[in-house]
Amino acid sequence: MTELTLGKKIPDLEIQLTGDKQARLADYLGKPLVLYFYPKASTPGCTQEGLDFKAAIGKFRRQSAIILGASRDSLKAQNNFKDKQGFPFDLISDPGEELCNLFGVIKMKNMYGRQVRGIERSTFLIDRNGNLHQAWRKVQVKGHVDEVLAAVKALNQSGE
pLDDT tier, 63 (very low <50, low <70, confident <90, very high otherwise): very high
Question: What is the model's pLDDT at position 107?
Answer: 86
pLDDT tier, 1 (very low <50, low <70, confident <90, very high otherwise): very low
Question: What is the model's pLDDT at position 27?
Answer: 96
Where are the alpha helices (H) located in 56-143, listed in sequence order? 57-62, 75-85, 98-103
Task: Quickly count: other Cβ atoms within 10 Å of residue 127's Cβ.
Answer: 22
- pLDDT(109) > 90: no
Domains of the chain: 14-158 (3.40.30.10)
Catalytic residues: 46
Read off the pLDDT of residues 11-62 as tens digits, 9 standing for 90 and up: 999 999 999 999 999 999 999 999 999 999 988 889 999 999 999 999 999 9
Task: Provide the percentage of residues in the chain whose pLDDT is more than 90.
Answer: 79
